[in-house]
Amino acid sequence: MMKRMALGSSSDMPLLFAPAESLGRFDASALHLGTQDIIRLGGFALKNGYKILQFRIADPYLSPLEPQEERVISEQMIELLHRYDTRELIGAMQEEFDGLYIVGVELQSANSQRRMSIRRGGYIDTAATWEAEAFLQSAWQDLRLT
């Protein structure tokens, strides 16, 4: 069963995981992930035993793309990450993909085959919260996300 978690930050905890509905109880502010943050998380995931299943993409008004269009563009983005690196995809966001925003990423663990979805608003949907927490703790340290 999928659970929704939220990423937050407080003065004494740079990265906090909480059930999405209770983040406010921890005197924490939600962490918002931008396009570049999500791309960097995707690159980190590829290097650490995860497969990118799909990027979630929005138009300039942050409205979702049509599913078919999103799938095609997502596949192109994933191919860029596999072939080159995160810098190449970040650069392509200003050229080939200008006007589009990555608002989420769907990952699958190569070890457990479990999936997790990480979205722009700092929300995570996963059946294995411990696995998502371990992945994101490592990513936060390695990528120095704030």
Show the low-confidence residues of the chain (pLDDT under 70).
Answer: 8-31, 145-146
User: What's residue 97's pLDDT?
Assistant: 97
Question: Does 79 reside within a domain?
Answer: yes
What is the tally of structural domains in the chain?
A: 1
Residue 107 placed within a domain: yes
Quote the pLDDT of residue 66. Answer: 97
CB-based burial, 38-52: b 16+ in 10 Å, e otherwise: bbbbbbbbbeeebeb
* pTM of the model as a whole: 0.85
d(CA 40, CA 17): 20
| CB-CB contact of 100 with 72 (8 Å) | no
Residue 39 lies in a domain: yes
- Token pair 């006007």: residue: 99
Radius of gyration of the chain (CA): 15
Report the distance separating Cα 10 and Cα 23, nearest Å: 11
What are 90-107's pLDDT values in tens digits?
A: 999 999 999 999 999 999
Q: What confidence score (pLDDT) does residue 21 get? A: 60
Residue-number span of the structural domain to which 75 is assigned: 31-120+127-136
Q: Whose CA is closest to 35, among 10, 18, 59, 66? A: 59
pLDDT of residue 132: 85
Residue 103: predicted pLDDT: 96
Is residue 132 packed enough to be buried (19+ CB in 10 Å), middle (13-18) or exposed (0-12)?
buried
pLDDT of residue 129: 83
Say what the pLDDT of residue 15 is.
63
Q: Is residue 26 part of a domain?
A: no
- On whether residue 20 sits in a domain, the answer given is no
Kindly state whether residue 106 falls inside one of the protein's structural domains.
Answer: yes
55-76: pLDDT as tens digits:
999 999 999 999 999 999 999 9
